[in-house]
Structure 1
Amino acid sequence: MTNTVSLKRLVPGLIIGPASWLGPYIAAASLFLPALIQQIDAENKIQLVALFSTCGMVFAAVSNMVAGYLSDRTRSRFGKRTPWLVGGATAFMISMILASMANSIPFLLISWMLGQIALNFIVAPMVAWLDLAPEDGKGTASGAYGGLGMALGNNGFTIFAAMFLGQFRLGFIIFGIITFIGTLLAAIIVREPSNLDEVLEESAKKEKKTLKESLAIFPSWSISRDYYLALIGKLFQGVGNFSITGYLLFIMTDFLHKGTVGTQQSIQLINTIMLIFGIAMGFIAGPLADKYKVLKLPVGLSTISLGIGALSMFFLQNDVGIIIYGFAAGLGMGIWNSLDNLLNLEVIPDKNRIAFFLGVYNLGNTITQAIAPVLAAFVISQFSFSAIFIVSFIFSAIGGISILSIKSVTR
Structure 2
Amino acid sequence: MNTTVSLKRLIPGLIIGPASWLGPYIAASSLFLPALIQQLDAQNKIQLVALFSTCGMVVAAISNMVAGYLSDRTRSRFGKRTPWLVGGAAVFMLSMILASTANSIPFLLVSWMLGQIALNFIVAPMVAWLDLAPENGKATASGAYGGLGMALGNNGFTIFAAMFLGQFRLGFIIFGIMTFVGTLIAAIIVREPSNLTEERIEPEKKEKISFKAAMKVFPRWKVGRDYYLALIGKLFQGVGNFSITGYLLFIMTDFLHKETAATQQSIQLINMIMLVFGIAMGFIAGPLSDKYKVLKLPVGLSTISLGIGALSMFFLQNDLGILIYGFAAGLGMGIWNSLDNLLNLEVIPDKNRVAFFLGIYNLGNTVTQAIAPVLAAFVISQFSFSSIFIVSFIFSAIGGLCILSIKSVAR
TM-score normalised by structure 2 residue count: 0.89
Higher radius of gyration, 1 or 2: 1
The whole-number CA distance in structure 1 between the counterparts of 2:143 and 2:223 is 28
Question: What SS does structure 1 have at the residue aligned with 2:325?
Answer: helix
Residue 198 of structure 2 aligns with an amino acid whose one-letter code is E
Per mean C-alpha deviation after superposition, the further-off stretch among 278-287 and 384-393 is 384-393
- Supply the AA of the counterpart residue of 2:298: P
Equivalent in the alignment of 1:142 = 142
**In the TM superposition, what whole-angstrom CA distance separates every residue of 1:377-408 from its partner, at most 9, and x where no partner exists?**
44455455555444333322221111111111
Output one character per residue of 1:155-207: Cα deviation in whole Å (capped at 9) or x when no partner.
2223333444555444333322221111111001000011111113447xx68
**8 Å contact 2:156–2:271 — kept in the other structure?**
no
Change (3 A) 1:145 1:76: same
CA distance in 2, matches of 1:247, 1:161: 15
In 2, the alpha carbon distance for the partners of 1:66 and 1:240 equals 27
CA distance in 1, matches of 2:33, 2:392: 28
SS in 1 for 2:342: helix
Distance in 1, matches of 2:408 and 2:371, equals 30
Percent sequence identity is 87
Task: Report the alpha carbon displacement of residue 253 of structure 1 after superposing the two structures with TM.
Answer: 7.0
> Quick check: 1:132 aligned with 2:135?
no
Displacement of 1:20: 1.1
CA separation of 1:163 and 1:327: change in aligned 2, threshold 3 A: closer
The whole-number CA distance in structure 2 between the counterparts of 1:333 and 1:387 is 22
Quote the residue 2:214 is aligned against: 215
The aligned residue for residue 325 of structure 1 is 325
Pair 407,93 (structure 1): closer, same or farther in 2 beyond 3 Å: same
Q: Counterparts of 1:16-165 in structure 2 under 5 Å?
A: 16-37=16-37, 45-165=45-165
Instruction: State the AA in 1 paired with 2:306.
Output: L
Q: Is the 8 A contact 2:143 2:286 kept in 1?
A: yes
Any idea what the Cα deviations from partners look like across 1:269-324, whole Å, max 9, x if unmatched? Answer: 43322121111111111111111111111101111222233344455666555443
The more displaced of 189-198 and 162-171 is 162-171
Where do 1:307-346 residues align within 5 Å? 307-314=307-314, 321-346=321-346
Aligned to 1:271: 271
Q: Which sits farther off after the overlay, 254-263 or 349-358?
A: 254-263
1:58-84 CA distances to partner (integer Å, 9 max, x unpaired)?
A: 211111110011001111111100011
Q: Give the superposition deviation at 1:44.
A: 5.3
How many angstroms apart in 1 are the aligned matches of 2:376 and 2:47? Answer: 17
CA 39–324 in structure 1, closer or farther in 2 if over 3 Å, else same:
closer
**What residue identity is the alignment partner of 1:173?**
I
1:15 aligns with 2:15: yes
Q: Secondary structure at the match of 1:64?
A: helix
Alignment partner, residue 302 of structure 1 = 302
Contact 2:102 2:108 in 1 (8 A): yes
Give 1:34 shift. 4.1
Q: Could you state the TM-score of these two structures normalised by the residue count of structure 1? A: 0.89
Alignment of 1:346-365 (within 5 A): 346-365=346-365
Matches of 1:108 and 1:329, distance apart in 2: 31
Shift of residue 37, structure 1, vs aligned partner:
4.4
Q: AA paired with 1:215?
A: A
Q: Residue 247 of structure 1: CA displacement?
A: 4.5
Query: Counterpart amino acid of 1:401?
Result: L
- Equivalent AA in structure 2 for residue 400 of structure 1: G
Cα gap change, 1:324 to 1:132, in 2 (>3 Å): same
Residue 42 of structure 1 deviates from its aligned partner by 5.7
Counterpart of 2:197 in structure 1 is 197
Indicate how the Cα distance of structure 1 residues 176 and 69 shifts in structure 2: closer, same or farther if over 3 A, else same: same
Q: Please tell me whether the aligned partners of residues 49 and 373 of structure 2 are also in contact (alpha carbons under 8 angstroms).
A: no
- Which structure 2 residue ranges, 5 or more long, are not aligned? none
Distance, in Å, in 1 between the alignment partners of 2:92 and 2:140 is: 29
Post-superposition CA distance 1:198-253 (Å, at most 9, x none): 113447xx686594541122111011000000011111112222333345566667
Distance 1:162 1:385, change over 3 A: closer
Contact 2:53–2:373 under 8 Å retained in 1: no
The within-5 A match list for 1:227-238 is 227-238=227-238
- Flag the 1:30–1:396 CA change in 2: closer, same or farther, 3 A: closer
Residues 12, 138 of structure 1: CA spacing in aligned structure 2 closer, same or farther, 3 A cutoff?
A: same
The 8 Å contact of residues 147 and 282 in structure 2, kept in 1 or not, is answered as yes
TM-aligned CA distance change 1:253 to 1:81, over 3 Å: closer
Distance 1:66 1:341 in 2: 20
Q: Shift in Å at residue 105 of structure 1?
A: 3.9
C-alpha distance in structure 1 between counterparts of 2:162 and 2:253, whole Å = 22
**1:240 is aligned to 2:264:** no
How far apart, in 1, do the equivalents of 2:241 and 2:161 lie? 23
Query: Residue by residue, what CA displacement relative to the aligned partner does 1:48-103 show, whole Å, maximum 9, x if unpaired?
Result: 44433322222111111100110011111111000111111122222333334444
The 3-state SS of whatever aligns with 1:359 is: helix
Cα deviation per residue 1:132-159 (whole Å; 9 max; x = unaligned)?
1111111111111111111111222233
Whole-angstrom distance in 2 between the partners of 1:365 and 1:187: 21
What CA distance in whole angstroms lies between the structure 1 residues aligned with 2:41 and 2:390? 37
- Measured in 2, the distance between the counterparts of 1:108 and 1:69 equals 29
